[in-house]
Structure 1
Amino acid sequence: MKPKKLILILLLVFWHQKAKSQYSYKEIININKKTKLSEKKIDSILLSITTKDSIYAQIAHNFSVFNFKKTKNYKLSIKYGKKEIHILDSLKIINKRHTKALYNVGKFHLKLEQYQKAIHYFSKAIYSNKHRMRVAQSYCEIGNSYFKKGDYYKSINMFIKGLPLLEKHGLKKSILIQYIKLSNCCYKIDTKESTELGLLYLKKGDSLVKNSPKLKLTYKKRNFLYTGLANLYSNKHKKNYNKGREYYLKVLNNSLIRKDSNHIANAYMNMGELYLDINNDSCVYFLNKSISYDFSKKVYLNETYRNLATYNQRKKIFNLALTQIEKAINYCFKIASNKNLNTLNIEDILNSNHKKSALVSLKTKTEILVQLYNTTQNKEYLQKAINNVQLTNKIVNILISYSTEANTKYLWRKEISEIFNLGIYTAYLLNDSKLMLELMEKNKAFLLTLNINENIKLTNLPDEVSVKNNVLKKDIFRLESETEIHKTSKKKDSLFELKISYQNFKDSIHKIYPQFSNHNNDIKQVYLNKVKSNLHKNDIKLYYTLNTSNVDANKQSMLGLLIAKNKDIRFKIKNIDSVLLAISEYKKLISKPLTQKQELARFKKVSYSLYNQLFPTKEIKDLIKNKNISIVSDVSLENLPFEAFNTSATDLRYLVNDCNISYTYSSSFSEFNKNRDRKTNTDIVVFAPVNFKNTELSPLENTEKEAAVITNLIDGDSFTNSNATKENFVRKTSNAKIIHLATHATSANNPSIQFFTNDLKLHELYTYKNNADLVVLSACETNIGELKQGEGVLNLARGFFHSGANAVVSSTWKINDASSSYIMKEFYSNLKNKQSKAEALNNAKRTYLKNHSLSEQTPYYWASFVLIGDTSPVFTTHYFYYVGIILIIGLLIFFYFKRK
């Protein structure tokens, strides 16, 4: 603050108080001249002012800004800023000063890395809404706060909301700074879409600078702009290394001229990383120069040491690489080298500005430790690698539990998935089946289980809370869908405001009902002993996982774990590149009728090859015969129907003839899901629109007959033609034991399933509730969707699990109407006869094969439907009921004869 301004304010105080203060005017002036306004002296001055009016608020404001600018004491800035706000609130003064005061306190909290408190005050500034520029800046600073917290997608939403306002009401310098901050967030997300978004705003920033000759831009701001452009141009999605190098050199030259050591260090680090990406040994020169200029020993060293470690890892200098990567991790969390990383607490993790870098470094450390084992055969390195994986899991779980946007959670799951795969490989080297299973389980369907658990917790809250939550979620999903189509600013604004309202609502729930919070996750993981104890003697669990890191000599490897009642087998699949190629070809062959001899011969060869590679030993092949196999597959094996594998070298014999096959997301999810409380009052509800109001959709003539056959077998309700509406589906299926849908479906973009008039989209299943033991999706591609690494595929099948289903039958390609109806008839006949779900579906396929010939036996016609989830019978014989009846009859006979 300028001295003249402070003198003026203090003069106002003097005259306003009419000498009531304990300080004379001369004493106050002397305090200012010496600029030694200690907290005690400021408090004394404020205490001496008895009238708490707007002038008092202005004085508190000036002391707040004085501490911010002169002493950098942000705690005192906050203290006096809050006094200003308190007085303005008490006087009910809602004006520009009020908005600005709230914004300032938010900014001071941000300086102290108190991100949630910063968000709170920025949000209040937006609500105050009397200073348009500060409101715009508040949106952007909330975006910056979420960026610091690692909630990257939420951050982008805030920037995109604030920037149009800032472009209209803000200063050009401020606009440019926020463009740069948004681009940093896009760089962290590291997708093709985020890269394009970041470049869009940075190009706008570059144009702003070029078209504003009066804009006096410091070289530091130019450096930030050029660094942002270089980062995005040289990433894996653009790979424009020449453009990246051009901008990095501009930054380096600007910084060398001004002898700015921090900016020089950063420029050298970025140049080093660029050369490392193109495998140029010059990277070492630049990275070492970065260290020599980083005099603060903390600004950029986490990235520099991480890149040096990667370089030495590639050169197989593993001990040096390990030392360097450990330094990188320590710098990420600002901890001393002698501190145990396992002592990291929630605050250490959430307050780190280098979360993404920390996870990359932890992954690199795991790789190095495994490579050290490969070199030395010292198993201590493997145990350290496992410890590192467990630490990373702890960090990611914390980041997920404090993230508010679903896409950010998926981002963190992707990061941990790669590290889990490394851990699984490490457990394999340790010959530890228990550890392999533990890590395989952690790498599956975690967010699905978390979301379902949240829904269950909601049902235990008061009805009005649960209803409001559901309404808000429905509105958000609806607007997200509409925004995807129309992309109008009005729709985007409505969606943004709704998401803010929903987050405030959830925050209030967490405060009132702490048990609702996912910060206290009570989901249990099942371990090897539990999995074995749950298996019957004819049951087998079969896990696969693909590791794409460079710790294996073959660059990537696939591992398997077979679990039977009394044994477990770990195995490694060789020639993984040929396996992946075979999988791709296999999927193409099975998704169409094989009418040509050449195609059929090729199918026999490819499917037999996959059978031998994915069941690599005679012991495994013998063990699976005549068994019930539940497959927990890796993302590389998604939508791969094992039952159509050819098991004969000379003829064509399908694996489905030898065993019952089903699929599951994970054993932990299955255990959690089957224990959900499901109450039903109807055995089955069938929906078959047959014809559609949308004339572009072809009629499904066989589905009306399919619906009639099913309801003749199992007593229930059937909705066909114009009665098969979305509204009836939502109203009539919530308490059905079986839900059957025979209709059209689509897997593109937002997957949906078609009813007579309109469709039900995947996101709508997240707010719909069912109690079904089984959902059957007799429609095309209902098991297809967007792949999320570490979670699985976001498809209609997963959506029905989210809404309550215990098991789902879904399809992996475009099905044939006639053959599907045939299989469904057999399937339900088997269910009625009290067969398990797995037996019922596999027997239906076997019956189809037995009664068809030639090209109609090819997998396209019968193998598309897969069972996911619980395999137990839908209908069981109630032995206790019959035993009870027999006992009652027996007693009646006994008493009858006794009377005789």
Structure 2
Amino acid sequence: MLNQSRILIMILYLLVCNRQVFSQCSPRQEIWDSLKKIEENTIAPDAENLKQLKKLHQAYLKCYPPSDSIYARIVHRIGGIYSKTGETETAIQFTKEAVSVNLRGTKGTDRSFLANSYFNLSTFYSQLYLYEDSHKALDECIAISRQFPAKYFLTTMAFEQKSYAFFQTGDYQKSIETADAGILFAKAIGDPIAEASLLSQKAQAQVELDDLQKAEENIKKTITIFSGDAYYTDRLATSYSVYAQLLTTRRDFRSAIIYYKKSFALNETSANWVQCSRDMLNLGYLYDYHLHDTSNALLCYKKGLTMVDKSNDDYQRSGLYINMGVLFWRQKDYEQALQYYQKALNALPIHFADQSIKNNPTVTMLMLVSNDYFVSTLLANKAEAFLDLYKIKKNKDLLHAALSTYQLADKAVDLMRWKQYGEQSKLFWRGKTKKMYENAIEACYLANDVNLAFFFMEKSRAVLLNDNLNELGASAKLPPAEIQKDQEYRVKVITAQQKWAASTLDKNESDKNQAKLLQAKAEFENYIRSLEKKYPAYYQYKYTADVPSLKDLQTYLSERKASFVHYFINDSVTYILGITPENARLTKLSKKQFDPAKLGDFVRICSEKQALINNYGSFATLSYDLQKTLFQPLQLPRGKVIICSDGFLVPFEALSKDPQGRQPLLGDHIFDYVYSAGYLLKNLAAAPSEGNFIGFAPVHFQPYLQVADLKKAGSSLQEAAAFYSSSKVFTGDESTKNNFVNYITGYSIVNVFSHASAEASNSEPLLFMQDSVIRLSELQLSRNLATRLVVLSACETNVGKNATGEGIYSLARGFTSAGIPSIAATLWKADEQAIYDISIIFHKYLAQGLPKDEALQKAKLDFIACNSLEKSLPYYWANMILIGNADPVELNSPNTGWIIGLGLVALVVFTVVIYRKKAKTSSSKKPSF
């Protein structure tokens, strides 16, 4: 009994003790109420709120498992306060904890609050310049917040923040596309304020891309909306700043100054120190660059630095130092400029503290930079200052410092390009880097360094084309299922693009199609990112930035007994690098020595038959002048010459060796044209071919296409096909877009006798089939091609928009991007019969196994020899040129197996017959005894 009494007492004691323990735990509702009070107490200092939140955190963990929405919200708020105190990494840790809880989806969690946590994470990553992680967090925020009406405000904010992040990294096209996606969502939910904020961000990117009319429409709309409510002061300030940028671009400097000052005043009122410093940076640049007001510019920059000290924005501080360096560079104080450029490098968050102007960060350090266009511009400025200082002091160390800095700037350009997904943004920055490469080549010229000059010339052109071809090669390293999926995404994007372009005037329909296009692009980009992570070999191959060495090219030339010429042409200067298997020589021409406008004049007069006939004397003089300036000084041997031109295509074979225009270079040289030496040397894999030749000649076209019939196209195509042992021809109604897409991949040579359109105003060049058109963008869908040569016997197949640093976006380039190594294409509207005749003779020589460039040269010479004097005009024969690899096309031999077999049978039969005859003769002549 005693023992039982003791046990009972002990049980009662434990129950009482446990009750006391339980009584120390606050109910969840009480903790929730305390949390709400802290959230609503905006007056209390952050330190006090953080202290209270930590107490709640400890109390919660003491009594409850960390697995519901209350706990997630506590750590979310703690993370938010740590970010304000500058402890961003700690902020990320707490916020990630909030995400992990609500992601479980168990009872008591709140999926909708994930949107808040992801939005905060994106902000914290952005503060650390981890833009890729920031984009991912924003994508998650958008995906979740769209599911909950109460979180729609976060959706539009996430679109705006993502658009701005793209803007900061120079990807202006993606900035606009992201803003558009947000605008469509804001319209759908009826939120005009969110729509206006996104329009403001879109306008900012449009100003950079020089789309000023649309930018002005958008920014004026936002100013009108935000001016009516003091609550939107910060947004109104941003709109004023964007409008000031637009006005600066339009050279309305007085109005721009007014709006920059308006923006600064509003930002100062709201203590937005980062934006204050940006206003001062932009205003200072206006004073310096446009008004040459050095004193006011310096005042703005110094004021901007005081604002940066309050915000601690490393990139903004670096930007101000850069602009101060530019200011002193304009004053020709190059040493002072270099000091400020070095300060700008030291200010970047890349752990580079070396203050010696001759030293630069390492490539590894550059990889820590999230704003690559920013640092590439800084390095290009620094290199230019070294170059200018060398011209004064003639110190070779300064020249070498310039060259090493240009090489590092080129690396930064590569890093920037790899991070950008928008083609327009890439083209924009290719244009911006043109001047950098010009200066780098000048430094090579002064240093007499032809090897480095060749490197910079290669890096100055067709880089995006090389990226496309790298991606094709990288795709071969993927499993078949991934290749198929990649193709499906590409088809989806191009289809959506065309559907949106063809939208009617119905605004709702256009908005829907635009939304589908933006969604298709986003899905494709996410898929590409996943490939880059899953398949390292794909990533490495796709992003290789190697260019061939000059020695590699000379080995290639030696094997083919050829020469190579690199032309780098700008408004004020032209550089020519002539390369033979043994030597390389860099030449410089001033604008006085050579005016690039003459190239356009030459092609223009070549392409107009009557003008050529009426003004042949002027043409002959121009032709001789160009030959004497651009070609003769190179002293190249007779034979093959590969021309790598810079943003222009001129038929060099039509240049004349005499002032009367009677001796075109066609007789002495065999010309081929390439986008770059790297493109020429690239080994483009080919699938096995089904046949040697396939041709398309629509002859007549559907009425809605509004193009003339080509009555002789069918018979001419049949004549060309007759030279090949294995051929397929589609003429008339069979020459459809569907047959073209389905069949071209399996044949070594493709020939099209049709119409093409490539006016500079068109969005993209078109190739006409009987029932439809094939667009330049659609050519990118072709994969696993056996095709080695495409002959485009149509008008203007080598014409299109000229993208600085990339060349002409033509149908020929489209086929090249698809991985076809050689294209024969036209430069102007062809004479129909002449182009047919030359194409037929061209195929005759190709079928005989001649190299492509020799076959085309012989075809032109034969055409001239067999025709009237008029047909010797370049208008008729100089139109078609060869682009790419000039080696012979390897053709399938005809199937002679049955002939060999029949021969063997005949041989056996013949042997048996002879044997029997001999045996019979022997038996008839038996000896007698």
TM-score (norm 2): 0.83
Please list the CA deviations of residues 251-295 of structure 1 after superposition, one character each: whole Å capped at 9, or x if unmatched. Answer: 4566789999876655444333223333x3323333245315622
1:860 maps to 2:878: no
Q: 1:388 to 1:59 in 2, by over 3 A?
A: closer
Task: Give CA deviations for 1:748-801 in whole Å, capped at 9, x if unaligned.
Answer: 321121111011111111111322121101111111122222222221111112
State whether residues 363 and 408 of structure 2, in contact with CA within 8 Å, keep that contact through their aligned partners in structure 1. no
1:274 paired residue among 282, 286, 296: 286
Aligned to 2:514, which of 489, 492, 500? 492
1:545 aligns with 568
The within-5 A match list for 1:240-255 is 240-251=252-263
Letter in 1 for 2:696: F
Which residue pairs with 2:448 in the alignment? 431
Is the contact between residue 741 and residue 779 of structure 1 (CA under 8 Å) also seen in structure 2? yes
- When structure 1 is superposed on structure 2, of 810-819 and 365-374 the one drifting more is 365-374
Structure 2 CA distance, aligned partners of 1:181 and 1:743? Answer: 45
Q: What SS class does the counterpart of residue 733 from structure 1 fall into? A: helix
One of 601, 604, 617 as aligned partner of 1:588 = 604
Q: Is the 8 A contact 1:687 1:742 kept in 2?
A: yes
Matched ranges for 1:824-843 at <5 A: 824-843=839-858
Q: Given the alignment, which residue of 575, 580, 588 partners 1:564?
A: 580
Q: Indicate the residue corresponding to 2:744 in structure 1.
A: 733
Structure 1 residues 51 and 565 mapped into 2: Cα distance closer, same or farther (>3 Å)?
closer
Does the Cα contact within 8 Å between 2:694 and 2:729 map onto a contact in 1?
yes
Would the aligned equivalents of 2:624 and 2:661 in 1 still touch at CA under 8 Å? Answer: no
Q: Which digits, 9 at most, give the CA deviation of each residue in 1:318-375, with x for residues without a partner?
A: 32233333334444556435274332536755434xx444333333323222222222
Secondary structure of the residue aligned to 1:342 is coil
1:761 is matched with 775
Partner secondary structure for residue 671 of structure 2 = strand
Which of 666, 677, 691 is the equivalent residue of 2:700? 691
2:621 is equivalent to residue 605 of structure 1: yes
**Secondary structure in 2 matching 1:545:** strand
What CA deviation, in whole Å up to 9, does each residue of 1:361-409 have, x standing for no partner? 3333232222222222222222111111111111111122222223333
Which residue of structure 2 lines up, in the alignment, with residue 290 of structure 1?
A: 301
Task: Tell which deviates more after alignment, 63-72 or 677-686.
Answer: 63-72
Alignment of 1:77-226 (within 5 A): 77-92=91-106, 96-128=112-144, 129-130=147-148, 131-166=151-186, 177-187=197-207, 190-193=208-211, 195-210=212-227, 212=228, 214-218=229-233, 221-226=235-240
Q: Check whether the contact 1:61–1:101 (CA below 8 A) recurs between aligned residues.
A: no
Classify 1:170/1:391 alpha carbon distance in 2 versus 1 (closer, same or farther; 3 Å): farther
1:679 is the counterpart of 2:679: no
Deviations 1:461-488 (A, max 9, x none): 2222111110111110121123233271
Aligned-pair distance for 1:582? 1.5
Q: What do residues 393-446 of structure 1 show as CA deviations (whole Å, max 9, x unaligned)?
A: 111111222222233333333333332222122111111221111221222322
Q: AA paired with 1:200?
A: E
Contact 2:574 2:591 in 1 (8 A): no
| Equivalent position to 1:668, from 678, 686, 689 | 678
Aligned pair 1:713/2:723, yes or no? yes
Q: Which residue of 2 aligns with 1:553?
A: none
Secondary structure of residue in 2 paired with 1:804: coil
Residue by residue, what CA displacement relative to the aligned partner does 1:552-594 show, whole Å, maximum 9, x if unpaired? xxxx210111111222222222435752221121121011104
Deviation at 1:734, TM superposition (A): 1.1
Partner of 1:227: 241
* Unpaired runs of at least 5, structure 2: 1-22, 32-40, 505-509, 912-929
The Cα offsets for residues 16-69 of structure 1, whole Å up to 9 and x where unpaired, read as 3999xxxxxxxxx99999555399756533422325564534652564366258
* Contact 2:461 2:806 survives alignment (8 Å): yes
Q: What are the equivalent positions in structure 2 for 1:418-817 lying under 5 Å apart?
A: 418-486=435-503, 488-517=510-539, 521-522=543-544, 524-536=546-558, 538-547=561-570, 556-575=572-591, 578-594=594-610, 598-615=614-631, 617=633, 620-621=634-635, 623-624=636-637, 626-635=638-647, 638-673=648-683, 675-694=684-703, 696-715=706-725, 716-747=727-758, 748-769=762-783, 770-817=785-832
Assess, with a 3 A threshold, how the Cα gap between structure 1 residues 126 and 293 changes in structure 2: closer, same or farther.
closer
Alpha-carbon displacement from aligned partner over 1:790-837 (angstroms, at most 9, x marks no partner): 222221111112222121101111111100011112111121222211
Letter in 1 for 2:815: F
Q: Would you say the 8 A contact 1:268–1:287 is kept in 2?
A: no
Most deviating of 683-692 and 496-505? 496-505
Q: What corresponds to 1:343 in structure 2? A: 362
8 Å CA contact 1:541–1:630 kept in 2: the answer is yes
1:72-128 Cα distance to aligned partner (Å, 9 max, x none): 544444434333333333245565434334333333433443322332222222222
3-state SS, counterpart of residue 656 of structure 2: coil
Residue 275 of structure 1 aligns to which amino acid in structure 2? Answer: Y
* Distance of aligned partners of 1:293 and 1:70 in 2 relative to their CA distance in 1, 3 Å threshold: closer
Q: Which amino acid letter does the alignment assign opposite residue 713 of structure 2? A: T
Q: 1:713 to 1:662 in 2, by over 3 A?
A: same
Secondary structure at the aligned position of 1:585 is classed as: helix
Q: Aligned ranges for residues 341-420 of structure 1 at < 5 Å?
A: 341-345=360-364, 349-352=368-371, 355-420=372-437
TM-superposition CA deviations, 1:686-733 (whole Å, max 9, x none): 111111113511011221121111111123111100111111112222
Could you tell me which amino acid in structure 2 is paired with residue 567 of structure 1? N
The worse-fitting range, judged by mean Cα deviation, of 411-420 and 756-765 is 411-420
Consecutive unaligned residues in structure 1, runs of 5 or more:
1-10, 20-28, 549-555
User: How far has the Cα of 1:155 moved from its partner?
Assistant: 2.3
Sequence identity percentage: 22
User: In terms of mean alpha carbon deviation, does 865-874 or 413-422 score higher?
Assistant: 413-422
Structure 1 counterpart of 2:569, which letter? Answer: L
Q: Find the counterpart in structure 2 of residue 552 from structure 1.
A: none
For the residues of structure 1 that align with 2:732 and 2:846, how far apart are their CA atoms? 26
- TM-aligned CA distance change 1:501 to 1:607, over 3 Å: same
Q: Does the CA contact (< 8 Å) of 1:592 and 1:860 recur in 2?
A: yes
Aligned equivalents of 2:538, 2:566: Cα separation in 1: 33
Distance 2:563 2:85 in 1: 68
Distance, in Å, in 2 between the alignment partners of 1:822 and 1:871 is 21
Q: Is the 8 A contact 1:13 1:55 kept in 2?
A: no
The residue aligned with 1:3 is none
CA contact (8 A) 1:694 1:757 kept: no
Q: Which amino acid aligns with 2:788?
A: D
Give the structure with higher Rg (CA): 2
Is the 8 Å Cα contact of residues 153 and 405 (structure 1) preserved in structure 2?
yes
Q: Distance in 1 between matches of 2:643 and 2:393?
A: 35
TM-score norm. by structure 1 comes to: 0.86
Moved more, 680-689 or 311-320: 311-320
Match of 1:26 in 2: none
**How far apart, in 2, do the equivalents of 1:519 and 1:14 lie?**
59
Label 1:347 to 1:568 Cα distance change in 2 as closer, same or farther (>3 A).
Answer: closer
Please give the secondary structure, in 1, of the residue aligned with 2:722.
helix
Change (3 A) 1:49 1:784: farther
**How far apart in 1 are the matches of 2:375 and 2:69?**
48
Letter in 1 for 2:639: K
Q: Distance in 1 between matches of 2:221 and 2:442?
A: 46
Distance 1:321 1:65, change over 3 A: closer
